[in-house]
Amino acid sequence: MYVGKTLFAQLMELLPWTSFARIVQRHGGNAGVRTLTCAEQFRAMAFAQLTWRESLRDIEASLSANASKLYAMGFRSVVKRSTLADANESRNWLIW
C-alpha cells in the first residue's frame, strides 16, 4: 500500500506558494498569528471547497476525522472552528 502524500497534498503542491507567501507578507497576513497561518487557512478553505463542506462546523468535523493525515495534508495541528472563524473575519481580503 502506498503511504505517500495524499491527493489533497499533491494538489496543493501545484500552487505557487512562493507567490502566495509574498502576497501574505505584503499585506501582513501572518502578523500576530499564533496558530493558523494564512497558508493553513487557505488549505482549510480549499479542502472545504473540494469536499463540498457548507459550514465551519462541517469543515472542523471533516478535518478532525482525518486527524492522522493532517500533517501530510500540510496542517500543523487540528483546525478548530473558532480559530478558522477568527481568521476568516480578521484577515485582509486582498490576500485571497
Q: Where are the domains of the chain?
A: 7-95
DSSP state of 32: T
Q: What is the pLDDT of residues 15-62, one digit of tens each?
A: 999 999 999 999 988 888 888 999 999 999 999 999 999 999 999 999
Cα–Cα distance, 23 to 16 (Å, whole number) = 11
In this prediction, residue 5 carries a pLDDT of 78
The model's pLDDT over 64-73, given as tens digits with 9 standing for 90+, comes to 998 888 888 8
Closest CA to 80 of 92, 66, 63, 68: 63
Which pLDDT score is estimated for 6? Answer: 82
Cα–Cα dist 69/77, whole Å = 10
pLDDT reading at 2 higher than 70: no
Does pLDDT of 1 surpass 70? no
pLDDT of residue 53: 93
Rounded Cα distance, 83 and 9, in Å: 22
User: Cα–Cα distance between 88 and 96 in angstroms, integer?
Assistant: 11
